[in-house]
Amino acid sequence: MTIEILMVIGFCLAAYSIVGNDVPQTLGTFISSNAHRPWWVLWIYISTILVVVLIYGWYSSGVGDASYGRLETIPFPEGGITWLYVVPPILLLLLTKYGIPVSTTFLVLTIFSPTSLGSMMVKSMMGYAVAFIVAIVVYRFVMYKLSQHFAKTRHLPVSNVWIALQWISTAFLWSQWLIQDLANIFVYVPRQVPFGFLIFAISVFVLLIGIILYQRGGAIQKIIDTKTGVTDIRSATIIDFMYGAILLVFKEWSNIPMSTTWVFLGLLAGREFAMSMFLTEVNKHRTSRNVSKDAMKLMFGLAMSVLLATTLPMFYQYVSQYTP
């Protein structure tokens, strides 16, 4: 098996595992609040945005960089892709199967550049903290009356204005997520991506997104569905705008990759805590339990990333010494 074949295998595995783990986190509220619509309608919409973002990023870079500069500090391995780099997406597939929302940024990119873990961790922790605080402030002091109104009128027909706003917010969030997390997949190919491979990548993404939407999000979707009011288009719209805005701020801050998973769960955690302060239907103890459970899963994913980054290269070198 040649390195070129391993490159394609690694790319496809990363795409499959990351789409399965991260896409439901990003599009979860969109999927939940549009459960009454045919899955293929959502597929066409999401895929169109994907194609535009990918081609624009690749073309505007001037050098065929599809990662929006996120891989500037993570060079392509000098020896090419070996089985060492294929292990993380396989592990991610297993974790996703059990609904564990691990950070693909830590799990995948750390193997390519262990020295980048510190900076990625700092930026991701800041993302979680900012998202958590922003959500508490917005929902406790700005959205107080509006959230109560949403809770009382959730069974009434939703205005077409809110429907349009939700689809716009989803496009905004989806584009920001792609700009942040495409690096986790394109790290498996040379930094100057040939146009032919770009078309192949788009085809893979579109197919995988179709599978996820057909399954209505998979195991990770269960985490989103436990949050208060996410099936309400109005609440989902506000969540998406906030999530996308935070990702945009951190994108402009630096090109260091960060965990969008941490931002996502920080936002939902802050929102849940804030809403438990003024909605009697939201149990404070249940909220604390759910947030703690999500945080434990994040820490588990981080621990797995550190473990892989420190032990897998040593194991690879050991095996290489005894294999021709």
pLDDT in tens, 76-116: 888 788 888 888 888 877 776 766 666 778 778 888 887 88
Which tens digit of pLDDT belongs to each residue from 240-291? 888 899 999 988 888 888 888 888 888 888 877 777 765 555 556 666 676 6
Residues 6+ apart with CB under 8 A from 252: none
Q: How confident is the model at residue 3 (pLDDT cuts 50, 70, 90)?
A: very low
Read off the DSSP letter of residue 167.
H
Res 48: pLDDT: 96
- Is the model's pLDDT at 214 over the cut of 70? yes
pLDDT score for 147: 67
Band of pLDDT at residue 175, cut at 50, 70 and 90: very high
Q: What is the pLDDT of residue 41?
A: 93
Task: Decide which of 186 and 139 is more confident.
Answer: 186
Residue 169 tokens read as 């917010």
Question: Per residue in 288-318, pLDDT tens?
Answer: 676 677 777 777 777 777 777 677 777 767 6
Q: Is the pLDDT of residue 1 over 50?
A: no
**Of 120-129, 152-161, 170-179, 315-324, minimum mean pLDDT range:** 315-324
The Cα-based distances of 133 to 89, 139, 167, 259, 267 in angstroms read 32, 10, 26, 17, 8
Q: Is 12 left (phi over 0), alpha (psi -120 to 50) or beta?
A: alpha
More confident of the two residues 129 and 265? 129
pLDDT of residue 218: 58
pTM of the model: 0.80
